[in-house]
Amino acid sequence: MKKYLIFTFLLLVYNVFLFGQMPEVVPLDHNPALQNRKPATLKRNDMPDALLLPFFDDFSYYWDTSYLSKPDKKLWMDDYVYINNHYPVEPRSNGVATFDALDADGNVYKNTLSTFTADTLTSRPIDLDGLTKADSVYLSFFYQPQGYGDNPDPGDSLIVQFWSPETRKWSTIWHTPGTALHRFKPVLLPVDRDIFLQKGFQFRFMNLVSLEQNKFNPGRRGNADHWNIDYVYLNKYRNKNDTIAYDVTVTAPMKSLIKGYQSIPWKQLEDAIATNLEPTVEITYRNNNISDNYVWRNFIITDIYNKNTVNLSPGGGENIRADEIITFAQNFVNPFKYTADTDSAEFEIKAYIDAPVLNNWKENDTVRFKQVFKDYFARDDGVPESGYGFSGYNAYGCAVACRYETFAPDFMKAVMIYFNPTYNSESAKYRFNIAVWGDDNGRPGELIYKSLEEYSPKTTGQFMRFNLERNVYVSKYYWIGWIQVTSGFLNVGFDRNFNDKGNLWFDNGIWRQDFHDGTLMIRPVMGQNLNLPTSVEQPAIAMDNGMKIYPNPTSHHIRIEFEKVENLTYSDYDAEIYDIAGRLHYRAQYTGEYIDVSNFEYGVYFVRMIHRKTGNAQTQKLIITK
């Protein structure tokens, strides 16, 4: 038995080194939605008159750009939390306040303590003067740990505190320890002590977090310990069982008109529709009442360029049971046609519900989506919730591929990748090649393009565009991605709100399907570059070791030497040979001996020598004659 266990352990170790690392999905190190805004915390002395009851916020204004993803200043004093609809899972309404380990600027808190107070959300002073315990004042809210983020550890917590204008102190009234994801749960807290029932009363939410101190792979250090809160409601004349919102509300972001895609090239829209990919409007809503309700659905599309508005055929109505969630989808005839003199289009799709009774808050009945058609395909919504990449030190040569479909034969001219910011810009030193593969019955097939240039994530927090060195012809299915030149976690954006499972594969020795729930933020750009080669980023610095290939031209074999390297060890290098189309024809550890190229077709090739430890590379042209 002991020999068997030792053998099994050695086999596992062998597989790790043979097949490289497995890709991981990790929390973010930075929130781009909070970048370049000015954090502001109001002081009590700066407050106008105290707020009057009722106090209510369901954060349904997340879509309004004037709020900058911050809490409503008319209700809250500080803005450390993130107002959004990306992190909650089945929220009570459309929009939440998310607590995490990022500060008001969207960066990971610079705190070295094992556990510390991170975000706070503090109400403005509220006038409770003249009220007594008999007036039954209660604060209620719903909360959820993790959502689409990171689950808080048991040592972390979400806390509620009350401020007493009399004692001028905060008192902890409620807290809950960290745990894994669960549905939104209601909390109801009485405000019944005389020290709180005064003018100037306040309440606040806080979260305690613990950060992973990843010294060995800093590119993975990121955001952690997410909590979402919703339906914050303070009022009098309530009771201990009053957790019902009496509201019918939209609960999910609106999706693209094209199922499975956030965007497709404008010139391919009619081809997509011809393949039965009919435009569809969709809305998800919830009845938060204790009784049934009847809900009407409405849809409006506005052409942003031409200012034309179309009311789609009515979405109709139906009865919805208490606490039921309904997702309604409706196909429609596309009212906006592609013309040869246009290369893009933008539309605003607006959906709203109408519930005549038991619908206390109308602000959360509407949802909007901006539909963009340009020259690229996109499955992600443009906002990452996590980061994706290979972790470890033997990821050299590992690859990631994402499948796309073109609805008409076309050329691809560029690839866009979203890289997350990393701690101390750690990922900027890692390098990779852009690659394109054919399709082999639903998995990556032949490598049809690999960039000669090596790139690094120099642009983060937005999409980085890589122009291809040649226009790549594609039809039907194809795969785009990267091949790592150096080991290290690239931290590519990962959208958790759309599940693209089945279209993401990785190669760490053999091709395997990735089973993480979400969508890799990588996009193909269609069309042709007229001036080649071009690149929006400079390639990673290559070594200059005086690389020489001889004989060159050749018809049988070649040998490679470095004139500027003393005490050269050839086995420290890998040799690769590509044709002019970027297809790999040869790869092996170099021994210093001749490489046989007698079976190669005549033409122009490129020989690349890569240092196995540093990843530095040098490329020279090779001509093969017959």
Per residue in 16-64, pLDDT (tens digit) is: 444 457 899 888 877 766 665 555 555 555 556 899 999 999 999 988 8
Neighbours of 373 (CB within 10 A): 22
pLDDT at 541 over 70: no
Peptide bond into 421 cis (omega under 30): no
Predicted pLDDT of residue 342: 81
Query: Comparing C-alpha atoms, which of 118, 119, 160 is closest to residue 140?
Result: 160
**Tens of pLDDT, residues 416-455:** 999 998 877 888 889 999 999 999 999 999 999 999 899 9
CA-based nearest residue to 224, from 108, 117, 97: 108
pTM score: 0.73
Mean pLDDT over 203-215 rounds to 81
Predicted confidence (pLDDT) at residue 618 exceeds the cutoff of 70: yes
Instruction: Give CA separation, 278 vs 220, 228, 303, 351, in Å.
Output: 40, 35, 18, 18
Confidence of residue 10 (pLDDT cuts 50, 70, 90): very low
Q: Which pLDDT band, with edges at 50, 70 and 90, does 328 fall under?
A: very high
Which has more confidence, 78 or 10?
78
Is the confidence at residue 4, as pLDDT, over 50? Answer: no
In this predicted structure, which of 247-256, 263-272, 513-522, 529-538 has the lowest mean pLDDT?
A: 529-538
Domains and CATH numbers, the chain: 7-26+388-526 (2.60.120), 33-243 (2.60.120.260), 257-373 (2.60.40), 547-624 (2.60.40.3580)
Distance CA 561, CA 550 (A): 8
pLDDT winner (highest mean) among 162-171, 570-579, 593-602: 162-171
Specify the DSSP class assigned to residue 15.
H
pLDDT digits (tens, 9 = 90+) for 84-109: 998 999 999 989 999 998 877 777 77
